[in-house]
Amino acid sequence: MNIQDFEAQYREAMAETLNDLQTAVLLLAQLQQKISKIGSSVQNLSEHVEEFIANQKAE
């Protein structure tokens, strides 16, 4: 293998690795957003259940 072939393989592997990293970062951002949305939903649901329970006890 000569230096040109080595350089070409290195650059191709590096580009692919960087693309994979970028994809992983984007997926992580989407996952963080989804986790936040689920957390808000759980909090809202909990508040509604607590309110319902309090109302039932007051009757």
What does pLDDT average to over the chain? 97
1 confidence band (pLDDT: 50, 70, 90)? confident
Residue positions counted in the chain? 59
Q: What is the pLDDT of residues 19-28, one digit of tens each?
A: 999 999 999 9
Question: What CA dihedral angle connects 51, 56, 57 and 58, to 10 degrees?
Answer: 90
- Residues 8, 33: Cα–Cα separation, whole Å: 38
Residue 9 clears pLDDT 90, i.e. is over it = yes
59 confidence band (pLDDT: 50, 70, 90)? confident
| For residues 31-46, average pLDDT | 98
Task: Please give the sequence-ordered ranges of beta strands (E in DSSP) within the chain, or none if there are none.
Answer: none
| pTM listed for this prediction | 0.72
